[in-house]
Structure 1
Amino acid sequence: MLKDCKASNLDIIFIQEMRRLGEGSVSHEGYNVYWSDMKVKHLYGVGIAFISINGIMNISPRLIAIDLMMKGLKLRIVSAYAPTEAKSLANKKSFYRELNKICHVGMDKNRKLLIQCDFNAITSICNKHSSFDGHNMHHDDTFNENGRLLIDFCNRNDLSILNTWFSHPLIHRLTWYSPDGVTRKVYDLSLSGSWIRCFVKDVRTRNSYFHSDHRLLVTKLRTPANKSARFLKKYRKIRPPDLNALSNLTVKEQIIRKIKDTLTTSVSPTQVDEKHNFLMTTLEYAKRSLPKVTNKKHPVPEDYYDDHFKFLITKRKNLRRQPRAEQSVEKMKKLNKEIKRAASKVKSRMLQDKSNEINQAKQNRKVADMWRSAKSHSKIISSNPKAITCPNLAPHFKALSLQSYFTRDF
C-alpha cells in the first residue's frame, strides 16, 4: 500500500481498519507509520503515515491524532474509524463523544482541524455536489443512523464535508465496493472548518492497486507559502439578512411556505434536544433566504460642489481615458489625493449646514416650550407664538407674568 501511495506522491496517509495490535510506529518506504489498535484482538485499528511529525495522540483503537506544523500552519489531523451500522447506539455515541473531545481539547485558536474518517454513514448529501458547510439544510432521501449522527456532529462543530464541494461524478465519489460487485457506498469522508476549506483544491477517489474493498480518497491541500498571505481576506464580508423585509407580505408568505415544506419533508426527530436543534436549523435556513441588508450610502448633493471639485472630477475622467503608463499612474495617485481633500471640504460644508438646521430647530422647540409654560402660568398673553424669537421674547409678556414665570421655573 505504501508503495502505491508513494507512487501517487501523497505526503500524509490516513489508514483505517489497520488491525495491528497495540500502539507503535515503524518506518517503511520513506514513511513514518503510527498506529493505535486493541491490545488483544485484531479489530478496528487506525493509523497515519507521513514524513515529519510534532506530536502524536493515541486516543483509542478507533481514533488517532497528530499535530503538525506545515510552512507555519498549525494543523491537527485526525484519522478515525466509526462503528458499523450493526453496532449499538451507545457504542456509536461513545465514538462521537471521543471525536468531539479531540476536536476541542488542546486546540489553540491558531490550530486548524482536518479529519479523514471511515464513518460507515449513508447519506444522500455526500452523493452529489451539495456544498455542505455544517449550516445549510438539504433534503436527505436515504440515510442511516450513522448518517444522522454524522450530520449532527458537523452541525455542532461547524465542519464542512469536503467531498461535497466539488462537482465530480458519482464514480469519483464512491469509496467502498461490496464483494458482490453491486453494492457501492460513500463511506470515507474528509471534514474540516471553513478556513481550511478555502485552501482545499480537490477531493476525489482513485483506483488502488492493493487488496482492499475501499478506494483511495485523496484530499489536495495547498496553503500559501508565507503566514501573512494565509490570513488575507479572500472574500467579501457576508451581509446579514434584512429582517425588515418580513413586513412585505409576499416575502413573509415565501418564508412561511419554505418552513412548512422543510418541516413536512424532513423526518422529525424523537428526542427533545434533537427537536430543538432541528427547529433552530430550520429557522436559520429560512432566515438565510431573506434579502440581504443593502449598504445605505449618503451621497453629497451636487449643490455643495464647488468649481474646484468639479474641475478635479473632470480631470480624473480625462486621465482615465488615456493609455496606462507609469506617468499616468503617478498623476492618478496625486489627483486622487487632491480629490479626497476637496471631498472632505465639501462634506464638511454639508455637515455644517445640517448642524445649523438642527440647532435652529432645537432653538425653535425651546421657544415653543417656554411659550406653553408661560401660557399655563399666566393668561395675560396676547402675542403670536409663531412670531416669537429668543431676543424679543421678553417684550411680549407683561412684568407680572414674567416675574411669576421666571421665579417659578428658573
Structure 2
Amino acid sequence: MCVKKLLHKVGHLSILGCGFDGSGSAGVGFLLNIQAQKALIEWEPVSSRLAKARFRSKLFNVTVFAVYAPTRVSSEQAIDTFYAELNEAVKKTPKRDLLIIGGDLNTHVGSRQANGDRSLGIHGYGERCERGTRLVQFAQANNLVIANTLFRHKPSHVITWRSRDGRTSSQLDYLLVSSRWRSSIQNCRAYRGPDTGSKGGSDHTLVKMSVKIRLVARKRKEPPKRFDVARLKDPTVVEQFRVQLSNRFTALEHEHSNESPEDGNSSGSSVNEDWQKFRNTLQEVALETLGRVKRKRRRWMSEETIRLATKKRSGDQVSKT
C-alpha cells in the first residue's frame, strides 16, 4: 500500500499522519502543540501502521512511535510484517533516547503471570490471548514495560475500547516505555469521552501517561595529563629513565619467579595481572622521571591584537595632549 503523508495545521496544532485511506483499516499520526512542533527533529512515516517522531530535549531526546496493529481477523503474515517493521525501527532508536510506543495494538495482555513477566504489572485487564503473548514477548525482547498494567484504577479508567452497542468492552490500546524509565512513570489511565462507544463517537478512549524525569548530573571527568616526553631529549633524563625502569623490571621478574604455579599453569599470575603490573610500573617510572605536561592557559587575545590595541591607545593619548 502506498503511504500517504499528511502535514496539516489546525490553529496552534499540527497533524502529522500517514496511511489514512478513509476506510479505518490503517493510518497513524501525531497531534503536536507549538512546543512539540519546535522540538521536533525527525519525522518518519514508516508504513501505514507505523510512524516515528523524535523530539529534542535538554539532556536527552525522546522517540515516539505511533502504531496501529492488525486486528484479530488479520492474517498471521500481517502480524509478522507489523512486528518485523516495529522491531527494526526500535533497534535503530538511539539507546539514550526515552522510547515510547503508543497506539491501538488490538490484543489482550492481561496481568503479570506466575512466570514473572518483567514487562507487565499486576493491574492489567482481562485474560491474555495468543497475540497478547506476542506483544509481551516483543516488549521483553526490547526492554520495554507496558505502562497500562502498572497502576490500579477502576475498570472505566482501564478499558480503552467499547463496542458501539455498549455491550462489549476491552483493553486494546497500550503505552510501552523503556524499562530504564519505569520508575519515572507516575500514572497511566484511560479517559472516556462523553460520546465514547456511541454511534456518533469513537469506540476507543484516550490513554494518558504522566512521566516525571529524575535527572542526575553526570560528573565531568578531567582528561588525564600527558607525560612530559619532551624531557627525553635530555640524555641525562633518558639514562635516569632507563636505569629506574631496568631496576623495577628486575624486581618484577624476581617476584614473578617466586610465585607458585596453580592449576597446572607455569605461573601463579594471569596474563591480565602481568599486563597490569607492567603498565603500572611503566607509568610510575615515567611520572617520577618525566612528570606531567603543565597546561598553558591560552590567552584570549593574540600577541598581534594586543600590540595593535596598545599602539592605538598610545596614539589616542598623544592626540589628546
1:179 has 2:164 as partner: yes
Look up the match of 2:51. 64
Look up the match of 2:282. none
SS at match of 2:83: helix
Cα distance in 1 for residues equivalent to 2:137 and 2:207: 23
Contact 1:79/1:117 (<8 A) preserved? yes
Cα distance in 1 for residues equivalent to 2:74 and 2:53: 27
Look up the match of 1:10. none
TM-score by length of 1: 0.46
Cα distance in 2 for residues equivalent to 1:167 and 1:113: 23
SS at match of 2:91: coil
Following TM superposition, by how much is the alpha carbon of 1:101 offset from its aligned partner in structure 2, in angstroms?
A: 0.8
The CA deviation string for residues 324-348 of structure 1, in whole angstroms up to 9 with x for no partner, is xxxxxxxxxxxxxxxxxxxxxxxxx
Aligned positions, number: 207
Contact 2:120/2:149 (<8 A) preserved? no
Cα distance in 1 for residues equivalent to 2:163 and 2:55: 35
Following TM superposition, by how much is the alpha carbon of 1:137 offset from its aligned partner in structure 2, in angstroms?
A: 10
Cα distance in 2 for residues equivalent to 1:181 and 1:40: 24
Distance 1:41 1:131, change over 3 A: same
Look up the match of 1:169. 154
1:223 has 2:213 as partner: yes
SS at match of 1:182: coil
Q: 1:120 aligns with which of 106, 109, 120?
A: 106
Following TM superposition, by how much is the alpha carbon of 1:187 offset from its aligned partner in structure 2, in angstroms?
A: 0.3
Write out aligned runs for 1:117-266 (5 A).
Answer: 117-125=103-111, 133-134=118-119, 142-209=127-194, 211-224=201-214, 228-229=216-217
Cα distance in 2 for residues equivalent to 1:134 and 1:219: 16
Contact 1:175/1:217 (<8 A) preserved? yes
Contact 1:85/1:145 (<8 A) preserved? no
Cα distance in 1 for residues equivalent to 2:189 and 2:141: 25
SS at match of 2:107: coil
Cα distance in 2 for residues equivalent to 1:99 and 1:66: 14
Look up the match of 2:63. 76
Structure 1 unaligned spans of 5+: 1-20, 233-410
Look up the match of 2:85. 98
Contact 1:82/1:92 (<8 A) preserved? yes
Following TM superposition, by how much is the alpha carbon of 1:81 offset from its aligned partner in structure 2, in angstroms?
A: 0.3
Look up the match of 1:45. 27
Look up the match of 1:284. none
The CA deviation string for residues 137-176 of structure 1, in whole angstroms up to 9 with x for no partner, is 9999833332121111112112111111111122210000
Cα distance in 2 for residues equivalent to 1:213 and 1:83: 16
Cα distance in 2 for residues equivalent to 1:74 and 1:114: 11
Contact 1:132/1:164 (<8 A) preserved? no
SS at match of 1:163: helix
The CA deviation string for residues 269-309 of structure 1, in whole angstroms up to 9 with x for no partner, is xxxxxxxxxxxxxxxxxxxxxxxxxxxxxxxxxxxxxxxxx
Cα distance in 2 for residues equivalent to 1:168 and 1:136: 13
Cα distance in 1 for residues equivalent to 2:121 and 2:147: 14
Following TM superposition, by how much is the alpha carbon of 1:84 offset from its aligned partner in structure 2, in angstroms?
A: 0.3
Cα distance in 1 for residues equivalent to 2:125 and 2:20: 35
Cα distance in 1 for residues equivalent to 2:104 and 2:124: 23
SS at match of 1:84: coil
What CA RMSD, in Å, does the superposition of the two structures yield over aligned residues?
3.2
Look up the match of 1:109. 95
Aligned residue identity for 2:145: S
Look up the match of 1:309. none
Larger radius of gyration: 1
Q: How many percent of aligned residue pairs carry the same amino acid?
A: 25
